[in-house]
A and B are shown apart, each in its own frame.
Chain A
Amino acid sequence: MSIVVAKRTGEGPARAPEHRVWGRLIKMLGSRGWILLVLFLLLLVAASIVPDVFAPHDHDAQNLRSRLLGPGESSPEGLHLLGTDTLGRDLFSRMVVGTRLTMFIAVTATLIGAGIGVLFGLLGGYFGGRIDRLLMRLGEAQTAMPMFLVAILLLSLLGPNVGILLVVLPCLVWPIFARVVRAEALRLREETFIEASVATGCSTSTILGRHLLPNVAPRILVLCVIEIGHVMLSEAGLSFLGVGVQPPDTTWGLLISEGRPLLAVAWWLTILPGVLLGISVLVLNLLGRYWEARSGAAG
């Protein structure tokens, strides 16, 4: 009995402890807390659109006399809120400027992955049978493949290139979208309204696009928000390994990577971009799960 109930609500005693932590965090947010999360995201978006408004200094201006200033110290140019790096560049400004590429890569890669995953999930879930098995095996093979190694392989073949990120990162997320959408499509195709649209005379593409897709869209959106966070993290990892974004472009991941050799003398160069990255991923996750929990009852 409990299995049946768990199946229907998607909740249940068997869920991993990880989910309880999220549940508690979401509860802590209360009914208005999500506004804070959205504000934070809006800040990030604003910083990527108009970084100059937020950055107090030119992010590329070097000043060797004010190298490795700690957070809060000042140079002749003014206050360096989060300190400076080995070339005397203002860390806060660099983080602000790095937001654009970080967000761009994360959002683009997630959207590409979502596109592939949604298409495959809809086709597999609606048609079932051989198509379904093929697509899902493909997803599993993809998941089993160590994408970081593939990325490094591509790097050695093609040289450093942001394009590699837009190939590798979507590969990491599409199977997740495919699984969720497939499960929804499997459930929905048994609904009478799908049968009714067949009886009405809808073509398969109409059924997939006009009936199935809008009914899974809320879940896709929630998943997108969560996955953008994960992709950010992966991009940071790849940039850290030197596969991703190359200087003079910068992302948070690259900042972390650049600061690493100096961890002992200038901790802020690694820790502070790391904290920003961590908070962003957490916020995206919380927001996604919050919406998911809110809309859960309404389907």
Chain B
Amino acid sequence: MSETAVAGATLEAGSADAAASPRGVLEVNDVVVQFDTDGGRITAVDGVSMHLATGETLGLVGESGCGKSTLARAIMQLVPMQQGSVRLEDTDLGTLSRRELRRMRHRIQMVFQDPRGSLDPRMSVSSLIGEPLRVHGIGDRAGRARSVAEAMELVGLPEAVADRLPSELSGGQQQRVGIARSIVTAPAVLVCDEPVSALDVSIQAQIINVLDELRDELDLAMLFIAHDLSVVRHLSDRVAVMYLGQIVETGTASEVFTEPRHPYTQGLITSVPRADAESAARLQTARRLVLGELPSLLDPPSGCRYRTRCPYATDECAATEPPPEAVDHAGGLHWVRCHHWRGIAAGSAPQPSSNSQEQAP
């Protein structure tokens, strides 16, 4: 556990050298989150590091259960971390007292996956959006009312809904309320935990656009978590791919999407259905790249976490955990955690072993 955590510390999402890069508004270092379950102790987040600069969006992708949401909650200090630190504007959140942490919270806010569930059913839209201002004592009554009205306008909520209850709104409107609440204090960092997954596809685009505009308008540093790659691609400057509690590849959005190096990333990207002639073939490839199901966190594979589903897996993968390696091209922001990425890129990777050879129809 601890060795993997230390190894993870060096793979910093989007940064070749943390010391050399300008300090981000949010710095996450080697975060480990563990839970005790009935089946034993699981490590949901295993040594994740990342940083975010103002005005920048980091997209975090991975399948359900890989620890994305837990990471978001750890960053928000909603679940305890076993290890690591979260620095917000040069303040280590982990060292703060409860009261100090509470006072810091207006600088980092969160948008939740379940829009309806994240809103108190007995509070009106305007009091929901105004609550962060109230609890942080920002502005007087009139000033708060102005801020609430502004926030509602920014997220595209009509004035008429101000006195409604969340249950009287559509899903898209509910999420707009959630977003308005999260930006009303003008935070430095916005953590969006799958903000559109629970919405209709037609609404998703609207909400994405709202977030896109807000980021530019308010100079937000945004951590955008999703399992939908097309959404992430549209919104993100940089992308981190998470698998079983670890970040396996990270780089600028264009690097990761056009030249994915990790077989898991390749699988994720090729598995996005497309309406074109190659589509069927692509999906066939994807099926070869991501085999079977996510292993249990209770008993993670030795060595490389991904090897049980990887068609290129060798004995080396089972024996040692791959260290993060820089993919040597221009930006120097592209990192991957795979023993064989060079071979795979060059087409000279070890052949997929016979038992993992797909019996695809």
**A interface residues (Cβ-Cβ under 8 A, vs B):** 191-193, 195-203, 206, 211, 214-215, 299
Of B52-60, B107-115, B314-322, the one touching chain A:
B107-115
- The verdict on B168 contacting chain A, using a C-beta distance below 8 Å, is no
**B interface residues (Cβ-Cβ under 8 A, vs A):** 73, 76, 78, 102-103, 105-106, 109-110, 112, 114, 117-123, 131-132, 135-136, 178, 181
- Of B105, B106, B117, B132, which one neighbours A192 at CB under 8 angstroms? B117
Bound: A215/B106 CA distance, A: 25
- Return B93 CB to nearest CB of chain A, in Å: 12
**CB <8 Å contact, B135 and A196:** no
With A201-B105, A201-B132, A203-B135 known as contacts, the answer to whether A196 contacts B122 (CB < 8 A) is no
Bound: A202/B109 CA distance, A: 12
**CB <8 Å contact, A193 and B102:** no
Q: Which of A191, A195, A203 has the most CB of B within 10 A?
A: A195
- Return B135 CB to nearest CB of chain A, in Å: 5
* Number of A-B contacts defined by CB within 8 Å: 55
Q: Inside 8 A of A197's CB, which chain B residues have their CB?
A: 120, 131
**CB <8 Å contact, A200 and B131:** yes
Bound: A203/B76 CA distance, A: 15
Could you tell me the dominant secondary structure of chain A's interface residues?
helix
With A192-B114, A195-B78, A206-B135 known as contacts, the answer to whether A200 contacts B121 (CB < 8 A) is no
**CB <8 Å contact, B109 and A200:** yes
Q: Inside 8 A of A191's CB, which chain B residues have their CB?
A: 117
Q: Inside 8 A of A299's CB, which chain B residues have their CB?
A: 121
- Return A8 CB to nearest CB of chain B, in Å: 16
**CB <8 Å contact, B110 and A199:** yes
- Return A126 CB to nearest CB of chain B, in Å: 15
Bound: A197/B76 CA distance, A: 12
Bound: A193/B76 CA distance, A: 15
Seed contacts A191-B117, A196-B178, A198-B78; 16 additional CB < 8 Å A-B pairs: A192-B112, A192-B118, A193-B117, A193-B121, A195-B112, A195-B118, A197-B131, A199-B105, A200-B105, A200-B109, A200-B131, A201-B102, A201-B103, A201-B132, A201-B136, A215-B122
With A192-B112, A192-B114, A206-B135 known as contacts, the answer to whether A200 contacts B120 (CB < 8 A) is no
Closest to B103 in A: A201
Q: Inside 8 A of A203's CB, which chain B residues have their CB?
A: 102, 135
With A201-B136, A203-B102, A206-B135 known as contacts, the answer to whether A196 contacts B121 (CB < 8 A) is no
Bound: A195/B181 CA distance, A: 14
- Of B106, B112, B118, B121, which one neighbours A201 at CB under 8 angstroms? B106
- Return A127 CB to nearest CB of chain B, in Å: 13
**CB <8 Å contact, A201 and B78:** no
- Return B305 CB to nearest CB of chain A, in Å: 28
Bound: A201/B137 CA distance, A: 11
Q: Inside 8 A of B118's CB, which chain A residues have their CB?
A: 192-193, 195-196
User: Could you name 7 residue pairs across A and B whose Cβ atoms are closer than 8 Å?
Assistant: A192-B118, A193-B120, A195-B78, A196-B181, A197-B120, A201-B102, A202-B131
**CB <8 Å contact, A215 and B121:** yes
With A192-B114, A196-B110 known as contacts, the answer to whether A202 contacts B135 (CB < 8 A) is yes
- Return B68 CB to nearest CB of chain A, in Å: 16
Q: Inside 8 A of A193's CB, which chain B residues have their CB?
A: 117-121
Closest to B102 in A: A201
Q: Inside 8 A of B181's CB, which chain A residues have their CB?
A: 196, 200
Bound: A198/B109 CA distance, A: 10
**CB <8 Å contact, A199 and B76:** yes
